[in-house]
């Protein structure tokens, strides 16, 4: 299957288990891998045969910068659900949500979750 990649999209959100996270917020990064047939777009050179990256970015931004969630697992799940419901040509998507500098004991560069969802 053909793929479109959107890497290291950056957003400011308020997700997390701790009170400070919901008050102060922090940066989140999202990587997307979108599976679809790109041959029609390659032949026609027309946007309607592909997926508009700007629309994908905006939808992802609305999720990450929107409703506060406790877990980045829930953020990833919500992004994947929105992508699959808003872009009919998608057959599957991989969503990775990265939380830099998580407030957990020890020094960590980041924590991340990655999910893969297929249209049912």
Note if 78 is an active site residue.
no
Catalytic residue among 19, 61, 78, 99: 99
Total-model pTM: 0.94
Q: Tokens 């992508």 appear where? A: 83
- What is the CATH number that goes with domain 2-118? 3.30.1130.10
pLDDT digit string, tens, across residues 40-95:
999 999 999 999 999 999 999 999 999 999 999 999 999 999 999 999 999 999 99
Kindly provide the residue ranges of all beta strands, DSSP E only, lying in 1-120, ordered along the sequence.
2-13, 26-36, 92-100, 110-118
């Amino acid at each position: 299957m053909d793929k479109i990649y959107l890497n290291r999209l950056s957003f400011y959100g308020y997700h997390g288990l701790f009170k400070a996270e919901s008050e102060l917020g922090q940066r989140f990064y999202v990587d997307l891998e979108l599976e679809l047939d790109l041959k029609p777009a390659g032949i026609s050179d027309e946007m309607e045969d592909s997926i508009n990256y700007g629309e994908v970015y905006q939808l992802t931004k609305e999720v990450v910068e929107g409703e506060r969630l406790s877990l980045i697992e829930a953020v990833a799940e919500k992004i994947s659900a929105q992508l699959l419901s808003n872009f009919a040509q998608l057959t599957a998507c991989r969503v990775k949500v990265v939380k830099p500098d998580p407030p957990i004991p020890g020094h960590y560069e980041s924590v991340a979750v990655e999910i893969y969802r297929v249209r049912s």
